[in-house]
Amino acid sequence: MALGLYSRDGSVTRGGRAGVVCFPETTDEVAACVRIAVAHGRAFVPRGAGTGLAGGAVPCDDPVVVATTRMDRIHEVDVERRFAWVGPGVVNLDLTRHLTGTGLHFAPDPSSQQSCTIGGNVANNSGGPHCLQDGVTSAHVLAVEVVLPDGEVVVLGDEEGRAVGYDLRGAFVGGEGTLGIATRICVRLCEDPPEVATLLLGFARVEDAAATVSAVIADGIVPAALEIMDQRVVEAVEPFVHAGYPTDAAAVLIVELDGLPAGVAAEVERITAIGHDHGAGTVRVAADEDERARIWKGRKSAFGAIAVIKPDYYLNDTVIPRTRLAEVLAKVYEVVDERDLIVMNVFHAGDGNLHPLIVYDAREPGVMERVLEAGEEIVRISVEAGGVLSGEHGIGLEKKRFMHLQFTDADLVAQDRLRRAFDLHGLANPAKVLPTGASCGHVTSLGRPPEGMWV
């Protein structure tokens, strides 16, 4: 039973099998785990909270699973130089709470903020609603202490963020555990803004909400966040959070602005006008912090709220040009309707990061086949629109078979060479990211994963 819990993550990928699970508490213990695994020719898989949605932490072929959740210390906070050293097991929201009163915060805020760890954020280069203005995790990691795949301990980057030479820190962030295991992370801290305003706009058409997003950016305004939820999501979350979402709207747009008071006030006025020009039926500005918190609670509770409709969901994570949001969303609805499925759209509209939730009941015969077909078609549509495979969830097992849609053979060879420069023997989280190897999750072309890998 215990091994079973560590044989899967938050994705729909199944069929993984953990060999041994280790719970190190120090860098030396992580290094010892890696050295012992390598000495016995065993692969190892780093694991955080297991909230990943691409199968990146699913262990293949009895590897050693190195769970870093006990490495949850906030080692140092330097307010003057605006950085903090944290363990990979520190929960994202716990760091935010720890910084209360310092005037600083850690910007990346994934929807799983209450449970995901900083180590996992680094592995997948995670984002979140408030990364439109400040950037995703890679922009907020100054240095990483890493146990390399041979057991050696190194520090990539430095506290000042001005390390000379090749940017190995940049290569490591987003490496999904294939380049080593992070044991301490130096994160950049951002100053709390003096003024924050949160707007909620309701639209009769999803296309109008998407067009408003492009219009806001085209007007020269870069909000802290721009999020869209369609009607099905709103209807699911409103009874839970009582945020006052307009449940008769086809879509709502959440816009958050921050900065100096006069500038924020001017931008609120401008976005209100843009919204009305694009058909917004309602425009509301949160009156106080409580109302603002309820609006965001609804957005961040969206994935859990779908259980009132169906017990299971398959979440995609592609990125497309903002100017093609309306077009691609229309195609997403078509793809899902053709397969008699339900999709709920909630996504980071500001940077074009789509998160269509295909909801289903896995107990229904044949439903998973239709779900996977729809997911595959959404990936194709996104890439053909000039998009990319993932915005923040990573490639893992789920999307490695699609890598050739975005990259040429030469691109993939170059990535493989980089990986092997870190991991000569291919023991660090094998079978992930690159479409090579013949371990669990391996497929050819765009074929289905082997029997048992999906349920």
Q: Is the pLDDT of residue 454 over 50?
A: no
Give the model confidence (pLDDT) of 246-280 as tens digits. 999 999 999 999 999 999 999 999 999 999 999 99
158 shares its domain with 11: yes
174 shares its domain with 219: no
- Give the CATH number for residue 236: 3.30.70.2190
Q: How far apart are the first and last CA of the chain?
A: 18
Parent domain of 244: 195-305
214 shares its domain with 254: yes
Decide: residue 35, CB within 10 A, 0-12 exposed, 13-18 middle, 19+ buried: middle
386 shares its domain with 315: yes
Give the model confidence (pLDDT) of 23-79 as tens digits. 999 999 999 999 999 999 999 999 999 999 999 999 998 999 999 999 999 999 999
116 shares its domain with 36: yes
- Give the CATH number for residue 73: 3.30.465.10
Q: In this structure, is residue 158 part of a structural domain?
A: yes
- Asked if 128 and 151 touch (Cβ cutoff 8 Å), the reply is no
- Give the CATH number for residue 319: 3.30.70.2740
Q: In this structure, is residue 208 part of a structural domain?
A: yes
Number of compact structural domains in the chain: 3
Decide: residue 447, CB within 10 A, 0-12 exposed, 13-18 middle, 19+ buried: exposed
Q: In this structure, is residue 131 part of a structural domain?
A: yes
How far, CA to CA in Å, does 267 sit from each of 135, 185, 234, 261, 295?
20, 36, 25, 10, 19
199 shares its domain with 188: no
Domain end among 305, 337, 355: 305
Domain end among 270, 305, 340: 305
439 or 216: which carries more pLDDT confidence? 216
pTM over 0.85: yes
169 shares its domain with 59: yes
Q: In this structure, is residue 402 part of a structural domain?
A: no
70 shares its domain with 171: yes
Q: In this structure, is residue 32 part of a structural domain?
A: yes
Give the model confidence (pLDDT) of 309-325 as tens digits. 999 999 999 999 999 99
60 shares its domain with 187: yes
Q: In this structure, is residue 121 part of a structural domain?
A: yes
Domain end among 305, 327, 361: 305
28 shares its domain with 126: yes
148 shares its domain with 36: yes
Q: In this structure, is residue 440 part of a structural domain?
A: no
Give the model confidence (pLDDT) of 385-425 as tens digits. 999 999 999 999 999 999 999 999 999 999 999 999 999 99
386 shares its domain with 359: yes
> Which residues face 197 on adjacent strands?
257
Q: In this structure, is residue 437 part of a structural domain?
A: no
